[in-house]
Structures are given as C-alpha cells and as structure tokens.
Amino acid sequence: MSSQLQARPFDPAGLLELASGGAKGDRRSLARLLSLVERGGPAARELSRLTHPRAGRAYSIGLTGAPGAGKSTLTGRLVSEALAHGSGPVAVLAIDPSSPISGGAILGDRVRMQDHALDRSVYIRSMATRGHLGGLAAAVPDAVRLLDAAGWPLVIVETVGVGQVEVEVAGTCDTVVVVLNPGWGDAVQANKAGLLEVADVLVINKSDRPGVRETRRDLVHMLQLSGEMEWTPPIVETVGSSGEGLGELWEAIESHRSHLESGEGLARRRASRAAEEVERLALDACGHLASAVLGRVPAPEAGLSPTSPGVEAALAAGRTLLERLSARELDVVGAADELTAILGRLLTRG
C-alpha cells in the first residue's frame, strides 16, 4: 500500500477508492488512509481536498488534561455512553507521545481500551504527536475530516497532555472536555495553561480521592473571575475506573451540543476552526518558500522550479541577503523585511 501511494501520490481515483472502502466499513482502507494523512505531504493534501466536500456531519469531542488524569479510562467509558444513547458508531483518535526512534505512537490503541477492541461500532486509532508541543498531531484536523467523510458520526480526540499549549485541542473539536484531578493543584495549573478558557465541560476525575471540594471551589472561583460567559462550563465529578458520574458527563456534553446547535454557535466555531486551519496551511507554505529562498531546503521541496526566471531571481536575492547579513551590512529585522518583499514578488509572479 505504501509503495502504491508513493508511486501515485496524486491519483484521485485510487484515493477515492480507498475512501469509498473506508466509508463502507473497510477498516484496512481507513487505516491506510489515516497512515497517509499522518505521513503528510502532497498525497495527504490531495486526500484533504477529496474528503472536504463529503465531511461536515460528524460531531467531535476533545478530551484534554494533564498526564495521569485518567483521560484514556474516561474515553473508553464515554464510548460506552455514546453507544448506549444511540450516538454511535464512534471513532477515537488517541494522540500519543512519539517514539524517538520510529516516530510512531508509543502507546497502542488496543492497550488503552480493551473493552472496545473488538467492537465493530468503535474504531480506535493511535496517532503520534511527532514532537508537536500542543499534544496534538499536526494531522489531527485532516484525520477528523477523513473519519467524518467515512461516515463516523461521532469522533472523540484524546490528547497526551504536555502543558500549556494543549489548548490547541479546541482547534479540532466541537466540545472540549478538560479533565482534572483533586488535591494536586490541577485547577490552578489548568488556569495558567489557559485550559479553562477553552473548556466547555470541566471534569474532576478520580473524585473518590480527597480534595474534591477544594478543587470544585477553585474552579467555581476561577469561572466567576472570567466574567459573563455565553456558556458556563458545568463541573462534573467522575470516577473513571468504576464509571461513576459518566452518565452526568454525557448529559453535560449533550447539553453543550444542544446549546451550540440551537443557535449559530456550532457554525461560528467551525468557521473559526476552518479559518485557523487555512491560515496555518498558508503560513506553512510561506515558511517553506522562505526556507527555499534562504537556501535552507532545496527549491523543489517548496514547489519551486529553480530554472524559472522569477524563482531564479528570488534565490539569487536570498543569497545576497544572507551575504549582507553575514557581513553585518544588514540587521536581522531588515533582512526579514527584505525576505518578505522577495516572497511577495515571488507570489505575485505565481
């Protein structure tokens, strides 16, 4: 499969055939497509174009929080709740730490949620962070869109938890669930990390431990300091290991979904998410162009033909810029301004 995709990276028919197989429940096709998305590159971009018109129906839930908060256990329980309430089938993207050797996800999907490993109504996929500090694989938006287009009505994204920039989970999900533990100062740390700003539902997991009352008090106080809110995140106490409070958690998620769908909230959130993704992709493309102009990557890797007159002039201007910078005839701010002008001319010429 890998060699086939590499040999024909822009074969719409081949990609559509795989997508069709995934939509019909062919898990091997879906797994291959997700691997393609995870690798990135031209074929993944083409797949994104193909799946976009067929997506837009699935609802996504993101679970985020510090490592050890019990997110994997809660995810497994949430899958059961979703199926019990007729909201399935359910797809799960478990974002895991990357192996420093292979680059793949260290934790396996079958290890995480054994209860659903053989359930045909559940699809579980581990994806590697690949060093992305937000705790989210860079390919997650495309992966969610692929699962949506393949006919999975509910997608749950569980993050690894690496600190402050994990608020990026909000960029891929319709409802964001922030998981905390009692007695460890999680509420304060979550507030510092900005998680409370993106939380739609707050969960105090492992609530059979001491410190629940203090954690709830801290959360209520922090929410009050946030001022008037269009939606006030409910605080739910759970014990993931026993399933206690999972019914209330599912009700809170459904309540937030109803809130979004009753007005323009869901449409606004998705429009904002799409704009952010477009901006990120455009910035990535400009970054590749800048790297090529500065000689940091070969021009073809940025989609440039070195023999094109406009490109040739841009590459020469980049070399001159670096020479002037090394000779201290130009400062870094001035160099950045000149590089921006070079890119502008390059983009204008097409």
Whether residues 95 and 153 fall in one domain:
yes
Mean pLDDT (the chain, rounded): 82
Domain ranges, residue 200: 56-262
> Are both 246 and 283 inside the same structural domain?
no
Res 238: pLDDT: 97
Pair (179, 323) in one structural domain: no
Identify any residues that bridge with 108 across adjacent strands, giving them in sequence order.
Answer: none
CA–CA separation, 92 and 138 (whole Å): 16
What average pLDDT score do residues 97-110 get? 48
d(CA 150, CA 32): 13
- Same domain for 216 and 140, yes or no, is yes
Tell me: pLDDT of 217 over 70. Answer: yes
Residues 176 and 41 in one domain: no
Q: Give me the mean pLDDT over the 21-45 stretch.
A: 79
Question: Where among 245, 262, 279 does a domain terminate?
Answer: 262
Provide the CATH number for the domain around residue 230: 3.40.50.300
Is there a cis peptide before residue 306, judged by omega within 30 degrees of 0?
no
Task: Supply the pLDDT for residue 65.
Answer: 83
Same domain, 199 and 294: no
pLDDT of res. 138: 64
For residue 307, the tally of other CB atoms under 10 A from its CB is 8
What pLDDT band is residue 306 in, cutting at 50, 70 and 90?
confident
**Percentage of the chain modeled with pLDDT above 70:** 78
Block residue for tokens 């985020």: 64
DSSP helix/strand/coil, 235:
strand
Single residue among 262, 279, 297 that ends a domain in this structure:
262
Q: Are residues 67 and 48 in the same domain?
A: no
Q: Distance between CA atoms of 116 and 76, rounded to whole angstroms?
A: 8
State residue 237 phi and psi, 5-degree precision.
-100, 130
Position 308 confidence tier, pLDDT thresholds 50, 70, 90: confident
Tell whether the model's pLDDT for residue 208 goes beyond 70: yes
Query: Sign of the C-alpha dihedral, residues 99, 63, 71, 207?
Result: positive
Provide CB contacts within 8 A for 261, sequence distance 6+. none
**Confidence band of 105 (pLDDT split at 50, 70, 90):** very low
Residues 234 and 135 in one domain: yes
236 in helix, strand or coil? strand
Report the pLDDT value the prediction gives residue 100, as an integer from 0 to 100: 41
Token readout for 125 is 């996929």
Q: Give CA torsion, residues 311, 313, 318, 323, to 10 deg.
A: 150
Structure-model confidence comparison of residues 349 and 181, the more confident one = 181
pLDDT (tens digit per residue) in 110-159: 455 667 766 789 999 888 765 443 345 567 888 999 999 888 999 999 88
Residues 179 and 103 in one domain: yes
**Do 123 and 258 belong to one domain?**
yes
Inter-residue contact 170 to 136 (CB < 8 Å): no
Residue where a domain terminates, one of 234, 262, 290: 262
- Contact (CB, 8 A) for 250 and 232: no
Instruction: Please check whether residues 46 and 66 belong to one and the same domain.
Output: no
User: What are the distances in angstroms from CA 135 to CA 59, 154, 158, 197?
Assistant: 21, 21, 9, 17
- Residue 210 and residue 318 share a domain: no
- What does the pLDDT read at residue 44? 81
Catalogue the E-assigned strands of 218-303.
235-237
> Which residue is associated with the tokens 């995934």?
22
How far, CA to CA in Å, does 41 sit from each of 51, 60, 265, 301? Answer: 16, 25, 33, 10
Query: Parallel, antiparallel, or unpaired for β 175-180 and 201-204?
Result: parallel
Residue with tokens 């809170």: 252
| pLDDT tens, position by position, 315-341 | 999 999 999 999 999 999 999 999 999
Number of domains in the chain: 3
Mean pLDDT along residues 9-36: 72
